């Protein structure tokens, strides 16, 4: 149940943010969209022209991406299977958004998640928004 996560004021347990700083950074950029990709299978184009396709395990505020069960295609087209992959934000060129995903909905969902933390984790209720 989601209500369990409201017991502790630590943002770590909600919406995957490990610090308030990360949450603020994420909420103010499109990284929040990438964080909504958690659990999806997608392709990440890397800066070195290679690509990695796998399940998104986590994306942090610095766009570091962790994938699992990855098929990596290097610049020359060679395929390698990788169990777990961590690519630093700097090295990400593109992240493909799966066609079936509604981008606006995902972004709003992610923001709603972290706003619930803000409201119940010791924040003042005057910032509460009506949830539709």
Partner 1 sequence: MVLLKSVPPPTEGVRHEQAETTAIMDGKGLGCGTLYVAETRLSWFDGSGMGFSLEYPSIGLHAISRDLSAYPQEHLYVMVNAKLSDENEAEMAENVHDDDEDASSGGEDDDDDEEGVITEIRFVPSDKAALESMFSAMCECQALHPDPEDDDSDNDFEGEEYDVEEAEAEHGQGDVPTFYTYEEGLSALTQEGQATLERLEGMLAQSVAQQYHMAGVRTDESNAEFEDGMEVDAGTTVAGQFEDADVDHW
CB 2 within 8 A of CB 115: no
Closer Cβ to partner 1, 100 or 125, answer by number: 125
What distance in Å separates the CA atoms of residue 98 and residue 60, rounded to the nearest whole number?
Answer: 19
- The single residue among 73, 91, 96, 97 that binds partner 1, judged by CB under 8 A, is 91
- 52-75: b or e for each residue (b if 16 or more CB lie within 10 Å)? bbbebeebbbebbbbbeebbbbee
Smallest gap from residue 95 Cβ to partner 1 (A): 14
Q: Is 99 in the site for partner 1 (CB under 8 A)?
A: no
- Contacting residues toward partner 1, per CB under 8 A: 1-3, 6-7, 18, 20-21, 24-25, 28-29, 31, 46-49, 60-64, 66, 70, 72, 75-76, 78-91, 118, 120, 122-131
């Amino acid at each position: 149940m989601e209500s369990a996560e409201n017991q502790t004021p630590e943002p770590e347990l909600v919406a995957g943010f490990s610090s308030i700083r990360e949450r603020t950074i994420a909420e103010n950029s499109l990284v929040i969209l990438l964080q909504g990709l958690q659990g999806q299978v997608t392709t990440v184009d890397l800066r070195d022209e290679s690509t990695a396709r796998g399940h998104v395990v986590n994306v942090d505020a610095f766009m570091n991406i962790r994938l699992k069960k990855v098929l990596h295609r290097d610049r020359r087209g060679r395929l390698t299977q990788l169990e777990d992959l961590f690519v630093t934000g700097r090295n990400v060129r593109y992240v493909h958004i799966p066609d079936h995903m509604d981008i606006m909905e995902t972004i709003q969902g992610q923001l709603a998640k972290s706003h619930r933390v803000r409201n119940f984790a010791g924040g003042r209720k005057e910032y509460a928004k009506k949830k539709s």
